[in-house]
Amino acid sequence: MHYNRRPDIIDLVKKWSREGVAVTIYDYQVRKEWRRFYQGFGARMEPFTDGNPRKSWEKCIARGYYQLFNGKIWKCANIAYLSLAAKALRLSDNWSKYLAYQPLERTASAKELEEFFSREEESVCGMCPNNPEIVENSEDVTTQAKSDSILK
């Protein structure tokens, strides 16, 4: 799970950990490569329309890297921060079904947490490509810290 170093998020994760939810936090600073998760740029940004959320999920490098944002857990960074892009850029109506995504609330039960984390592809995975374009970063300065150091 990724986090953004906010104490309230750390407290929430510690609470879940005390309740028996196994959590590992990865703090990646920079990646060697990244992928395009939308077509176009700026206000002309559009979701992919490959029509196979399962295949998109299978190719997803964010698979399993849930996001804590606004006190909720999101499937991935792309869906977590989409509302910010939509507000800033006035994205087309093609994003509407993805903007309707409901993240996991902080009041979720243990059963809801288990169901959420056991899901594989969801309809929101359809906004990403089946065959993502890989863009290389010129520097490989990836650093990683695990929850052992973060949650202490």
Say which residue the tokens 């939509």 belong to.
86
Q: Cβ distance 28 to 142 under 8 Å?
A: yes
Please tell me the predicted confidence (pLDDT) of residue 33: 66
Closest CA to 93 of 128, 45, 125: 45
Please tell me the predicted confidence (pLDDT) of residue 138: 62
* Dihedral class, residue 9 (left if φ above 0, else alpha if ψ from -120 to 50, else beta): alpha
Q: What is the mean pLDDT of each run of 10 residues along the chain (152 residues)?
A: 61 80 64 75 91 94 88 93 93 96 93 93 95 71 46 50
b/e for 4-35, b at 16 or more Cβ within 10 A?
eeeeebbebbeebeeeeeebebeeeeeeeeeb
The pTM is what?
A: 0.70
Cβ partners under 8 Å of residue 89, min gap 6: 42, 43, 45
Domain locations in the chain as residue ranges? 7-150
